[in-house]
Structure 1
Amino acid sequence: MKAEEFMREKGISIGDYVRIIKEEEGEEVEYRGIVMPPYELSEGDTIVIKLDNGYNIGIALKKIKIIEVLEKAKAKPEVHFKAELEPKEGLPNVTILGTGGTIASRIDYETGAVYPAFTAEELAKAVPEIFEIANVKPKLLFNIFSEDMKPKHWVKIAHEVANSLNSGDYGVVVAHGTDTMGYTAAALSFMLRDLTKPVILVGAQRSSDRPSSDAAMNLICAVKMATSEVAEVMVVMHGETGDTYCLAHRGTKVRKMHTSRRDAFRSINDIPIAKIWSNGRVEFLRQDYRRRGDGEVWVDDKLEEKVALVKIYPGISSEIIDFFVDKGYKGIVIEGTGLGHTPNDMIPAIKRAVEEGVAVCMTSQCLYGRVNMNVYATGRRLLKAGVIPCEDMLPETAYVKLMWVLGHTQDLKEVREMMLKNYAGEITPYTKPNTYLI
């Protein structure tokens, strides 16, 4: 029996609050929750309910002994959104660009289910506190999962950001999925030139239907940071597991370091720019940031997309390097071991790549610390083969930067010079001892 037939037979509708007795290893276990729409990947033999704690659980139909409706589904209230919001005098204008992700979600009042927000207007209306900080102008660019983000999306975001800032906005917030937010932050950091206003990327680790959601506070802190004097691309997310403060991270130095924690984002080899407290107070942790100023931002969107990111592991074959060379790739970023190494038997393939005009750059999978390829013989051989050491750049930042650099030149001498030039805070001058696992 499939779930739909089962529900019809029992007189149960989506959105009903039910009690289920399930038999589990000879014992009876009780669950209570709201009946959810079936998951697309389900084979139809499972009923899904949202528990009182906000989590969803699937229960196999064959294990259900008793199911009863405790409360019928409530009618969904009509929600109307105005096309435009009335601006408040004296507040700065901030645009929120919707691109998708967990933060861009809405709750269906009838079922408790979470769906992507149809418009950025819905996203903004869900957090009314932001209208006390700024006159928010929402705009939906696209609604995709962050794993589906491509360089063409980075370019579109960059142009929309520039248009908003050049039209008089005080700052821009980009709502984005967390999984690839670091890549987009790095891309915007390199593409937005002569930036004179804040650009904030923000997301949520937990969706709006969960009691522990970080979506609202992250968005509030992001809008607050968008009204600050920091004219940089930043990522604003929870700074600790509670609801005390968020952190503003430089867009080229930030990485998602945990799959599910609310404080998943960390600045690597650097310290965050600021703490943004839940009451709106901003505490700056450093003073070496770019200041707000006058002038128009412009978009330098030349990107070479045929760039690969390769992680070194025991037993890796040099065929991987040969594959990318044979496929016409223009650049390869290696996430090497330790100080920046590969197995020695890969060096001939890397040397061949460089000789055929492919830019090969070295980062470290250690993340913390910096590449130093002069310490051991393997590193020196790689340097002799033409590998470009990328200082303390994150692998994903180096990957995005190499795409941007190769969009401007494919002369390997010029590529080296540009990769080792600090454009957006991606390279710190020296390793700071107080930045490890902070």
Structure 2
Amino acid sequence: MAKKLEGYKGKAKNILDKQSFETWDILNIKTEKTEYQGILLPRNEYSRPEFIEIKLKNNYNIGIYVDDIMEITKIGTEKADYKIPEKKFPKTKGFPEVKLLGTGGTVASRLDYTTGAVIPAFTPGELFSAVPELAEICNLETEILFKILSENMKPEYWKKLAEKIAEEANNGKDGIIIAHGTDTMGYTSAALSFMLKDLSIPVVLVGSQRSSDRPSSDAPLNLINAATVATSNIAEVMVVMLGSTSHEYGLIHRGTLVRKMHTSYRNTFRTIDDIPMGMVKNRQIKMFKEDYNEKNKGKTKAMTNFEEKIALIYSYPGLTEDQINFYIKNGYKGIVFAGTGLGHVSTQVYSAIEKAIDENIIVLMTAEPLHGFTGMNVYSTGRELLDLGVIPGRNMIPEVGYVKLGWVLGQTTNLKDAKELLLTNLAGEFLPREKPIAFNYDIDSLLRNDKL
């Protein structure tokens, strides 16, 4: 039997208990400043105890601070059923065979208000009900590898993903879609880019900024665009997400050059230091780049060894040697700095960096500003760091540098070979030069002016 006030505790529970309210009651709540009407929702057990949560008529959820409440009255009861109906996903002869792998995230999802978790709608039938257009693009199979919040992603899961993708590619699948939370999608796309060698089919990571029960969800279009790219001839690891706030098109980003750039915008993902590989609009792909591998009949290999003792340190005023010494003491094999400007850290940590390098820890420098290249020959600080043995990471995004160093040290423990591999362009992570149109690009403007 469900608890009457599941997840509530403290002051909020006392107020609701006093009037015998239960979850799923429709309440009218007056505060000092306004009035709300909505369904009383269950709460997560870890939620703050001083808030009451309701679902408004517009489908948005709000938390109301109990000390602001003046009066609560019950209007009725409406238990929500968030189960997505299932319809059989039709199989069409001759359509590409695509596998959708689930890791978590909010793509084609529903909310479980009892736990506070977003639950993926993941059977083919659920997806067909949620996004019927998918059946016009491919024959779809699905498999949930793990259900995690993307902040809980770790190298162990990257390995499982890479091995599963290689298995599916070598067993005849035409494309792979990975449903993934957006927060660490850039890390996973980089990891798969390095781990999957001789990739023979498209691998597309997709997510959504707003879950499917939200009126402004980007999930359906992102899934349609991802399926379109997964059935293309582009044999690369890519992120495909909304490219405009108007839901007009999606952008195709290379897995080692992409980053989430806003906490909540739907078009949050951007290619850094370059333009995207292409765009998807009305199920049609327009490529902006020609330097990509094409789909082929070769064997995909998963090279998943990964050294997990890698640190990523952002430089900041006041950075001390304590952090660096901690990683030295605890046996770390590599340190990636996100340095200020062209790739700098305070001179006050030089001795710790020198000690790390003396103890065969590889130190890689990336640029905190994200856009642009490290330029460690320009100022004395950079030159001194080079003299210590710090390796310049060119245009690599800090988190891509972290992933690459971990992967490289998983392949070899020979420092000379590792440094050589680190400076080799393995998966499109290095660019030959800066492109002026790439900084804060506006795709619509570039298209209007025939720049793409």
Query: Aligned match of 1:380 in 379, 383, 386?
Result: 383
Given candidates 10, 17, 23, the residue that maps to 1:14 is 23
Write the deviation string for residues 209-229 of structure 1: whole angstroms up to 9, x where unpaired.
Answer: 211111111111111110111
Q: Which residue of 1 aligns with 2:78?
A: 73
Q: Work out which of the residue numbers 39, 51, 69 in structure 2 matches 1:46.
A: 51
The amino acid of 1:72's aligned partner reads T
Aligned ranges for residues 131-142 of structure 1 at < 5 Å? Answer: 131-142=135-146
- Which residue is equivalent to 2:326? 323
Following TM superposition, by how much is the alpha carbon of 1:72 offset from its aligned partner in structure 2, in angstroms?
2.8
1:374-413 to 2 correspondences below 5 Å: 374-413=377-416
Conserved 8 A contact 1:120-1:140: no
Partner of 1:127: 131
SS of 1:345's equivalent in the other structure is: helix
Q: How far apart in 2 are the matches of 1:80 and 1:175?
A: 20
Q: Is the 8 A contact 1:310 1:332 kept in 2?
A: yes
Contact 1:98 1:176 in 2 (8 A): yes
Equivalence for 2:255: 251
Determine whether 1:351 maps to 2:354: yes
Query: Counterpart of 1:49 in structure 2: which amino acid?
Result: I
The residue type paired with residue 36 of structure 1 is L
Question: Is the deviation greater in 227-236 or in 110-119?
Answer: 110-119
Contact 1:38-1:44 within 8 A present in 2 as well: no
Q: Which residue of 1 aligns with 2:168?
A: 164
With over 3 angstroms needed to count, the CA separation of the structure-2 counterparts of 1:291 and 1:15, relative to structure 1, is same
Check whether the contact 1:105–1:123 (CA below 8 A) recurs between aligned residues.
Answer: no
Which of 300, 303, 309 matches 2:303? 300
Per the alignment, do residues 127 and 10 of structure 1 end up closer, same or farther by CA in structure 2, a change over 3 Å counting?
farther
Q: Is the 8 A contact 1:124 1:138 kept in 2?
A: no
Which is worse superposed, 224-233 or 30-39?
Answer: 30-39
Distance 1:77 1:274, change over 3 A: closer
- Structure 1 residues 151, 111: closer, same or farther in 2, change over 3 A? closer
Q: What is the alpha-carbon distance in structure 2 between the residues aligned to residue 379 and residue 414 of structure 1? A: 24
Q: For 1:224, give the aligned amino acid.
A: T
Give me the CA root mean square deviation. Answer: 2.3
Look up the equivalent residue of 1:166 and give its one-letter code.
Answer: N
TM-fit CA distance, 1:187: 0.3
Match of 2:449 in 1: none
Give the Å deviation of 1:45.
4.6
**Counterpart AA for 1:340:** G
Q: Give the equivalent residue in structure 2 for 1:434.
A: 437
2:271 aligned partner = 267
Equivalent pair of 1:98/1:120 in contact (CA under 8 Å): no
Change (3 A) 1:63 1:316: closer
Greater shift, 259-268 or 374-383, is seen at 374-383
**CA distance in structure 2 between the partners assigned to 1:75 and 1:329 by the alignment:** 50
Give ranges in structure 2 of 5+ residues lacking alignment.
Answer: 1-9, 442-452
Q: Which runs of 5+ in 1 are unaligned?
A: none
Distance change in 2, residues 1:73/1:162 (3 Å): same
Contact 2:83 2:110 in 1 (8 A): no
How far has the Cα of 1:262 moved from its partner? 0.5
Alpha-carbon distance in structure 1 between the residues aligned to 2:182 and 2:333? 28
Q: Distance in 2 between matches of 1:78 and 1:337?
A: 49
- How far, CA to CA, are the matches of 1:16 and 1:55 in structure 2? 16
Return the offset for 1:348: 2.1
Question: Aligned with 1:282: secondary structure?
Answer: strand
Q: What's the CA shift for 1:340?
A: 1.1
Aligned AA (2:211): S
**Identity rate of aligned residues, in percent?**
48
Partner of 1:194: 198
Secondary structure of 2:312's match? strand
What is the aligned counterpart of 1:209 among 192, 208, 213? 213
Asked if the contact 1:100–1:143 (Cα under 8 Å) also holds between the matched residues in 2, the reply is: yes
Can you list the C-alpha shifts for 1:228-270, whole angstroms capped at 9, x where unaligned? Answer: 1111000111111121111110000000111111111100011
After alignment, is 69-78 or 315-324 more displaced?
A: 69-78
What letter corresponds to residue 19 of structure 1 in structure 2?
N
Quote the residue 2:110 is aligned against: 106
Looking at structure 1, the residues matched to 287 and 305 of structure 2 have their Cα atoms a distance apart, in angstroms, of: 33
Once residues 159 and 397 of structure 1 are traced to their aligned partners in structure 2, the CA distance between those partners, rounded to angstroms, is 20
The answer on whether the counterparts of 1:19 and 1:30 sit within 8 Å (CA) in structure 2 is yes
Check the 8 A contact 1:94/1:173 in 2, yes or no.
yes
Which one is further off, 342-351 or 384-393?
Answer: 342-351
TM-score, normalised on structure 2? 0.89
Work out whether 1:369 is the aligned partner of 2:372: yes
Q: Distance in 1 between matches of 2:82 and 2:157?
A: 35
In structure 2, which of residues 309, 331, 344 is the aligned counterpart of residue 341 of structure 1? 344
Post-superposition CA distance 1:316-361 (Å, at most 9, x none):
1122222211211111111111111111222222122112111111
Q: Distance in 2 between matches of 1:305 and 1:286?
A: 33
CA deviation vs aligned residue, 1:76-131 (integer Å, no higher than 9, x gap): 4876647x8442212111111010112263146x9997632374544564222212
Select 2:147's aligned residue among 143, 154, 157: 143
Q: What count of residue pairs does the alignment treat as equivalent?
A: 431
Q: 1:42 to 1:303 in 2, by over 3 A?
A: closer
In 2, distance between residues paired with 1:291 and 1:250? 14
Q: Does 1:282 align with 2:282?
A: no
Distance in 2 of aligned mates of 1:267 and 1:79 = 34
| Partner SS state of residue 135, structure 2 | helix
> What's the counterpart of residue 179 of structure 1?
183
Shift of 1:406: 0.6
Whether the aligned pair in 1 keeps the contact of 2:85 and 2:129 (CA below 8 Å) is no
Q: More displaced, 112-121 or 148-157?
A: 112-121
Amino acid in structure 2 at the alignment position of 1:266: R
Contact 2:256 2:400 (8 Å CA) reproduced: yes
Amino acid at match of 2:246: G
Contact 2:365 2:392 in 1 (8 A): yes
Task: Provide the rounded CA distance (Å) in 1 between the counterparts of 2:49 and 2:356.
Answer: 51
Paired with 1:272 and 1:428, the residues of 2 have a C-alpha distance of 13
